[in-house]
Amino acid sequence: MKPAATLPARPRRLGSVEVLAAILLLALLSRGELAGLLDQPEVRTWLTMFVSIVLQAVPFLVLGVLLSAAITVFVPAGFFARALPGHPALAVPAAAAAGVVLPGCECGSVPVAGALVRRGVTPAAALAFLLSAPAINPVVLIATAVAFPAEPLMVLARGVASLVVAVLMGWLWLRLGRTEWIKLPRRPELTGLARWPAFWASARHDLLPAGGFLVLGGALAATLNVLVPARWTQAVADQPVLSVLALGVLAVLLSMCSEADAFVAASLTQFSLTARLAFLVVGPMVDLKLFAMQTGTFGRSFAIRFAPATFVVAVLVAAGTGALVWGWP
């Protein structure tokens, strides 16, 4: 390591370290006033939900970021191009099916999909992987089976519908998607670096924006958890079309981890199985937390197109699958 004296002299202005130190000091000094926030039941509930969402996601985020750094640094450039079918239209279903191997929730799959794009995987295939991985991996499917003991077809319906949505979205991207919509965050020059410095630099460059946006999404989701009472959805429970849409929207707003959403879906007993399937198909693919993270990893112009399109396709496929499996009401 170089001695500190060779570092470039910093301009004499308020740097981010000083600001951070000031925030810390302020937080510690006003500890008593801040603790008063906990007397408000809504604020208390919000704070607990907010840190819970972030904590639940952090291990998956760290895992996803390290995996993505490993892909970026240690996997040879042409590997994925050789492993996937050469034709993009075939690479999409192959990548979607490969989602089975990433056991975790959606927070981990965003940085991994970003790394796949950097590593030369066609965006359509990487996006199919991004959508399918959190929905069809064994952990999530087993959780679904446990949550719906009386309805074994739910596992099958969820797996198939999620896979179909992932493949359709991949193909849709092939037809309509534009490369310039995807703006991966600027990277430092990794090429000149030794492997391990490059690994950590890559991990940090994924972790900071994805983590920051995760916090933003977690704050939004906690707010909606506190403000939107579950009874609002009750009003539409017996309307076949509206209820499917309502649970799709609820999945977006609640931003639940894909390993937990089946238990919540199982408790929404006043809704049809098809509506609950929509909740399970939409949740891992489009939600507030995920939208924020996609904005951080792929850029805003990507996220504002991709998330709504995915929502529409997911609701339609879930409704169709539900009608096939359980019949149209």
Partner 1 sequence: MAVNRTAQSLILVLLGVAVLRIGVTDQYLRYVKEGLRPFLLAAGLLLLVTAVATWRHREHEHEHGHGHRVAWLLALPALVLLVLAPPPLGSGAVNQAGTAIDGRSAADFPALPDGDPVPVTMLDYAARAVFDQGGSLHGRRVRLTGFLATGPAGEPLLVRMMLTCCASDARPVKIGLRGRVPALPPDTWLEVTGTRLPETATDEVNGQTIPFLHIESARQVPAPPNAYE
Nearer to partner 1, 114 or 296 (CB): 296
Nearer to partner 1, 96 or 226 (CB): 226
Q: Which two tokens stand for residue 263?
A: 């238990």
Range in contact with partner 1 (rule: CB under 8 A) among 54-62, 113-121, 165-173, 316-324: 54-62
Nearer to partner 1, 184 or 309 (CB): 184
Range in contact with partner 1 (rule: CB under 8 A) among 84-92, 184-192, 302-310, 319-327: 184-192
Query: What does the chain come to in residues?
Result: 329
- Write the interaction track for partner 1 spanning residues 264-283; mark x where CB under 8 A is met and - where it is not: x-xxxxx-------------
**150 touching partner 1, by CB under 8 A:** yes
| Per-residue burial over 239-260, b = 16 or more CB atoms within 10 Å of its CB, e = otherwise | eeeebbbbbbbbbbbbbbbbbb
- Give the nearest distance from C-beta 9 to partner 1 in angstroms: 13
Interface with partner 1: number of residues (CB under 8 A)? 85
**191 touching partner 1, by CB under 8 A:** no
Q: How far apart are CA 17 and CA 208, in angstroms?
A: 16
- Give the nearest distance from C-beta 110 to partner 1 in angstroms: 14
Nearer to partner 1, 187 or 305 (CB): 187
The answer to whether 110 touches 294, Cβ cutoff 8 Å, is: yes
For CA atoms 142, 59, 218, 199, the dihedral sign is negative
Report 213-252 residues binding partner 1 (CB under 8 A): 213, 215-216, 218-219, 221-222, 225-226, 229-231, 234
Q: How far apart are CA 100 and CA 98, in angstroms?
A: 5
Counting Cβ atoms within 10 Å, is residue 29 exposed (0-12), middle (13-18) or buried (19+)? exposed
Determine phi and psi for 314, rounding to 5 degrees.
Answer: -65, -45
Structure-derived torsion over alpha carbons of residues 287, 291, 292, 297, reported in degrees to the nearest 10:
140
- Give the nearest distance from C-beta 100 to partner 1 in angstroms: 20
Report 289-318 residues binding partner 1 (CB under 8 A): 296
Report 69-98 residues binding partner 1 (CB under 8 A): none
- Write the interaction track for partner 1 spanning residues 99-138; mark x where CB under 8 A is met and - where it is not: ----------------------------------------
Nearer to partner 1, 63 or 316 (CB): 63
Provide the CA 46 distance to its chain's centre, in angstroms: 21
The answer to whether 127 touches 277, Cβ cutoff 8 Å, is: no
Nearer to partner 1, 37 or 241 (CB): 37
Range in contact with partner 1 (rule: CB under 8 A) among 84-92, 114-122, 207-215, 300-308: 207-215
- Give the nearest distance from C-beta 208 to partner 1 in angstroms: 4
Nearer to partner 1, 218 or 322 (CB): 218
Residue in 124, 127, 7, 133 with CA at minimum distance from that of residue 60? 133
Nearer to partner 1, 166 or 268 (CB): 268
Nearer to partner 1, 179 or 269 (CB): 269
- Give the nearest distance from C-beta 13 to partner 1 in angstroms: 10
The answer to whether 63 touches 105, Cβ cutoff 8 Å, is: no
Helices (H), the chain: 16-29, 31-36, 41-74, 79-83, 88-98, 106-118, 123-136, 138-147, 153-176, 195-227, 231-234, 240-254, 261-267, 273-282, 288-298, 300-326
**186 touching partner 1, by CB under 8 A:** yes
